[in-house]
Amino acid sequence: MGALVSSAAQLATFTMTPPVAEATFYRAAWIVTLAGPGVIGLALLVLADRVARWVVPESAPLAIDADRVDLAAIGFGIAGIFVVVSGLQDVASIVYAALTKPDWLRGESSSSYVWGQQRVAIVRVVVEAVAGVVLILGRDGLASAWWRLRGRREEQDK
């Protein structure tokens, strides 16, 4: 969308010839930059049906056979993946600290150096790894427990 909006300003910039006065050039560029999103937005509103039909062609409706427990299990799995990926960020910082250990600390062990520099990240990685594994591998049990906790049984959904 940003490329579509900025394309009008870029086109105006490239079509102006160099002898144009600098003030005229900047004024025209600002007008196109400010008016471009409005014109494109108005065109999208007017042509919304055509754009929607072009982007999402009509097809048979999807028949998804899932109850709320299945959807909750999917949600717990996605949350687990997010937590694990978030933990990789801390793993990268720990590895970086281990690889960039200064030469003047040759007598100190790498593990004690990394623990001294990255103890918060190490604890966070352990917690995120455990939480991510529990969310991913135990998603069905968590979803069932979640709906039992909320006072709904699985039989009510079917």
Q: Is the pLDDT of residue 155 over 60?
A: no
Which three-class secondary structure state does DSSP give residue 21?
A: coil
Cα–chain center distance at 3: 20
Query: Residue 117 — very low, low, confident or very high, per pLDDT cuts 50/70/90?
Result: confident
Contact 147, 68 (CB under 8 A): yes
* Whole-number average pLDDT of the chain: 81
Given a cut of 80, whether residue 89 has pLDDT beyond it is yes
Angle at 25 between CA 19 and CA 29, to 5 degrees: 145
The whole model's pTM is what?
A: 0.53
SS (H, E, C) 97-120: HHHCCCHHHCCCCHHHHHHHHHHH
pLDDT level of residue 39 (50, 70, 90 thresholds): confident
Mean pLDDT value across residues 79-108: 86
Burial 25-54 (b: 16+ CB within 10 A, else e): eeebeeebbeebbeeeeeeeeeeeeeeeee
Grade residue 83 by pLDDT with cuts at 50, 70 and 90.
very high
Question: Which residues contact residue 72 at a Cβ distance below 8 angstroms, ignoring those fewer than 6 apart?
Answer: 142, 143, 146, 147
Contact (CB, 8 A) for 101 and 67: no
Q: Is the pLDDT of residue 77 over 90?
A: yes
pLDDT score recorded for residue 50: 87
At residue 42, does pLDDT exceed 60? Answer: yes
Per-residue confidence band for 19, with pLDDT thresholds at 50, 70 and 90: low
| For the chain, percent of residues with pLDDT exceeding 70 | 80
Q: Evaluate whether 86 touches 92 at the Cβ level (below 8 Å).
A: no
Predicted local distance difference test score (pLDDT) of residue 110: 79
CB 125 within 8 A of CB 91: yes
Residue type, 9: A
